[in-house]
Copies of this chain bind each other. A is one copy, B any other.
Amino acid sequence: MTKSTAQLKVYLSVVHKLKEMIQRDRLSAGDRLPSERELSERLSVGRSSVREAFRALELLGLIETRHGEGTFLRDFRDHHLVELLGMFILQNGQAEKDVLEMKIWIEMGSMNRMLQNDVSTLNWLFDSIVTGYQNGEITTINHFKSSLFESSGNRLAYKVWLVLYDFDRMSSKESAALDIELIYTVKKAMLSKDMTIIRTFCTEPVTLQQAK
C-alpha cells in the first residue's frame, strides 16, 4: 500500500513511526507522546517534519497538543472528523432539504436504538431531561433531541446529528420552544413503542405540541 520506491514524505514516515510506537507501547487515550524535539532527534528528522505529522494527526482528532505540556493521545471517539468533513462536504451550498432529511434519518435511527433500552433506563433518562428542563438548561425542542441522542449510545451518529443541527439552524428559523408536555408525550410513546408518534416527533415535533 505505502509506496516504498518513490520514498515516503518524511512527515508520513513520522506518522507511521508514531503508529508503531503507539501499538508497541500499548499507548491509549490520555497517554503522552514524546516531545517534538525528542522525536526529531530519535528519528533523525527535522522538527518541522515532526510538527507536520503532529498537525495532521491533530486535525484528524487523533492527538491533542497542549502548549507548554506536550502532545497526548486522544480518545478516538471524540474525533471531530465530522466537523472537518462537514466543512468541506457541505461547501457547495448543499440543498437544505438534504440536511434536514438526513437529520431526521439519524433521529429515527437513534430513537429506534433507544427503544431497545429497558424501562428503567428510559425512565431515568427522561427524568434527567425533565430536571434539565426545570433548571432552564433545555429550552428548545432541539435541545431535547440533543439530550436524547447523546444518550442513544452511538457517538458518531450524535456528532453527525450535531453538525446537521448547526447547519439546519443557520438556514431555518429559530428552534421551536419546548413544552414540558411534549417530553411526557415522547416518553409515553417510547415506553409503548408508539412508532407513529415517534415518527411525528422526528419529522414535525411542533404538531405534537399544538395537539395538546
* Chain A contact residues, CB within 8 Å of chain B: 1, 11-12, 15, 19, 22-23, 48, 51-53, 55-60, 62, 76-77, 79, 81, 83-85, 87-92, 94-95, 97-99, 101-102, 104-106, 108-109, 113, 154-157, 159-160, 163, 166
Contact = CB atoms under 8 A, between A and B. Distances in A.
B156 A22 contact: no
A129 to B, nearest CB: 22
A95 B48 CA distance: 32
A55 B11 CA distance: 8
A33 to B, nearest CB: 12
A154 B154 CA distance: 22
Contacts of A22: 88, 91
Given A55-B52, A106-B105, A76 B98 contact: no
B109 A92 contact: no
Contacts of A11: 55
B92 A102 contact: no
A91 B19 contact: yes
Contacts of A163: 85
A157 B104 CA distance: 11
A63 B179 CA distance: 43
A157 B102 contact: yes
A102 B19 contact: no
A60 to B, nearest CB: 6
Contact of A60 (B84, B95, B101): B84
Contacts of A84: 60
Contacts of A57: 59
Contacts of A102: 106, 109, 154, 156-157, 160
Of A19, A52, A57, A99, most buried by chain B (CB within 10 Å of CB) is A52
Given A1-B83, A56-B59, A105-B108, 4 more contacts: A53-B55, A97-B154, A102-B109, A160-B160
A12 to B, nearest CB: 8
